[in-house]
Amino acid sequence: MSMVEKRKSEHIDICAEKHVSSDYNFWNDVFLVHNALPELDKGKISLSSKFLGVKLGAPIIISAMTGGFSGAKKINENLAAAAAEFQIGLGVGSQRAALAHPELAGTYSIVKEYDVPLRIANIGAPQILEWGKKAEEMANKAIEMIGANCLAIHLNFLQEAIQPEGETKAKGALLAISDLAKSIGIPVVVKETGAGISGAVAKNLCKTKIAGIDVAGIGGTSFSAVEHYRLDESRKKLGKTFWNWGIPAPASVLEVRKSCPKLPIIASGGITNGLDCAKALAIGADTAGIARAFLRPALLGTEEAKRAVELTLEEMRIAMFLVGAKDVKAMKGAEYRITGASRDFISTL
Ligand SMILES: Cc1cc2nc3c(=O)[nH]c(=O)nc-3n(C[C@H](O)[C@H](O)[C@H](O)COP(=O)(O)O)c2cc1C
């Protein structure tokens, strides 16, 4: 097993078995205002929506998680089966492993066997910097590998800084993203991986040709926490120190929306149910992304993965019923309140 395969496998084991969440889930600070007289029938609520020009059965994306080691194939297959059944989006994990070791491509390309409406390829900003002039060629290989209709470029400098083997050369990343977004023929989304995107960063990203931002703020999986478990004793403390580093996910959505009023936004980071997805829409996102909450079901099997998605959609429908929103457009206009730590954070903007 190569070092990358070992790392990918460890990430799945750690995320499935250990406590890796930030101490605070900021979605609990967001309240949708209850409508005691919703004046609509729950059975008539529609979750269908469009994202990046693609029709979705619900405004939900299974966020990038895996690929690149043998056990990942079944996880991606189960997630793809669930995404196809409910016509939601699906991201695969960083494809760097298969770009370096083509024999691992099948652990990602399995998702092509399923009718997933939005298939999102995934490469890292550190890699496009490393690839230099070959970045476009490598990105196209990643896209082809899974038949993607969207490319995510992930920003994971928190993780890279904590990892002993991390790549911490970040200079030139914005320009590299800008060049790739210009030359790649499909929509490019820039995504964080659990530390959030600020209004200032979004403002710079908005000037490029990217098609959307996935905020992936703090509140859920913390990659500092994940790496904490992989560090040897001499560096373990680093993972603890930065465990809660980042911009709260809901605050990140509000900031990005303010900086980029028209840009498609994926809200993610700590979203674990359909109620959180509804909250995400109310505060300004177009779609919600869920990673770790779907990992355990996907490890258990296809039916478990499908059931987890089905339940999420039902939770979303209930939330929409209780605010009186008949469809996604109405949900985006629903009244909300922000309390607690998120409110404090936002008030300092
Ligand atoms: C096991 C695991 C592996 C991940 N690997 C990747 C990856 O390869 N590329 C990426 O862009 N994000 C990756 N992520 C980050 C997620 O896509 C997401 O942004 C983050 O986990 C926050 O969402 P959550 O709180 O719902 O887990 C991974 C997350 C998990 C849990």
pLDDT at 2 over 90: no
Q: Are residues 197 and 2 in contact, defined by beta-carbon separation less than 8 angstroms? A: no
Residue 8 alpha carbon, nearest atom of ligand 1: 3
- pLDDT the model gives residue 1: 78
Is the CB of residue 15 below 6 angstroms from any atom belonging to ligand 1? Answer: yes
Is the CB of residue 154 below 6 angstroms from any atom belonging to ligand 1? Answer: yes
Helix (H, G, I), strand (E, B) or coil at 289: strand
Distance of CA 189 from the midpoint of ligand 1 (Å) = 15
Q: Which residue has the tokens 């500092």?
A: 224
Of 287, 288, 285, 275, the C-alpha closest to 323 is 275
154: Cβ contacts below 8 Å, ≥ 6 apart: 64, 94, 122, 123, 124, 125, 190, 191, 192, 193
pLDDT at 3 over 90: no
Task: Provide mean pLDDT across the span 82-98.
Answer: 98
| All structural domains of the chain with their residue ranges | 3-347
On average, the pLDDT of the chain sits at 97
Distance of CA 193 from the midpoint of ligand 1 (Å) = 6
Residue with the smallest CA separation from ligand 1 atom 17 is 64
- pLDDT the model gives residue 97: 94
Residue with the smallest CA separation from ligand 1 atom 3 is 65
Residue with the smallest CA separation from ligand 1 atom 30 is 65
pLDDT at 107 over 70: yes
Burial class, 52, CB count within 10 angstroms (exposed 0-12 / middle 13-18 / buried 19+):
buried
Burial class, 178, CB count within 10 angstroms (exposed 0-12 / middle 13-18 / buried 19+):
middle
Q: What is the Cα–Cα distance from 101 to 283, expressed in whole angstroms?
A: 41
DSSP 8-class letter at 10: H
pLDDT tens digit sequence for 112-128: 999 999 999 999 999 99
Distance of CA 35 from the midpoint of ligand 1 (Å) = 34
Q: Cα 43 to the chain's mean position, in Å?
A: 29
- pLDDT the model gives residue 5: 87
For 71-105, b/e burial (b = at least 16 CB within 10 A) is ebbbbbbbbbbbbbbbbbbbbbbbbbbbbeeeebb
Q: What is the Cα–Cα distance from 268 to 200, expressed in whole angstroms?
A: 18
Distance of CA 72 from the midpoint of ligand 1 (Å) = 14
Distance of CA 203 from the midpoint of ligand 1 (Å) = 23
Pairing of strands 188-192, 212-214: parallel
Is the CB of residue 249 below 6 angstroms from any atom belonging to ligand 1? Answer: no
Is the CB of residue 65 below 6 angstroms from any atom belonging to ligand 1? Answer: yes
Please give the C-alpha separations between residue 256 and each of 48, 195, 215, 231, 338, in angstroms, as whole numbers. Answer: 24, 14, 8, 33, 17
Is the CB of residue 217 below 6 angstroms from any atom belonging to ligand 1? Answer: no
Q: Are residues 205 and 213 in contact, defined by beta-carbon separation less than 8 angstroms? A: yes
Task: Provide mean pLDDT across the span 158-180.
Answer: 95
- pLDDT the model gives residue 4: 81
Instruction: Please name every residue paired with 189 in a beta bridge, in sequence order, or none if there are none.
Output: 152, 212
Task: Provide mean pLDDT across the span 166-189.
Answer: 97
pLDDT band at 347 (very low <50, low <70, confident <90, very high): confident
Is the CB of residue 12 below 6 angstroms from any atom belonging to ligand 1? Answer: yes
Distance of CA 66 from the midpoint of ligand 1 (Å) = 8
Q: Please report, as a single letter, which amino acid is at residue 344.
A: D
pLDDT tens digit sequence for 235-276: 999 999 999 999 999 999 999 999 999 999 999 999 999 999
Phi and psi at residue 21, to the nearest 5°: -85, 155
Distance of CA 324 from the midpoint of ligand 1 (Å) = 32
pLDDT tens digit sequence for 207-238: 999 999 999 999 999 999 999 999 999 999 99
Q: Please spell the DSSP secondary structure of 21-43, one letter per residue.
A: B-S--GGGGEEEPP-S---S-GG
> In this structure, which topology does domain 3-347 adopt according to CATH?
TIM Barrel (3.20.20)
Is the CB of residue 196 below 6 angstroms from any atom belonging to ligand 1? Answer: no
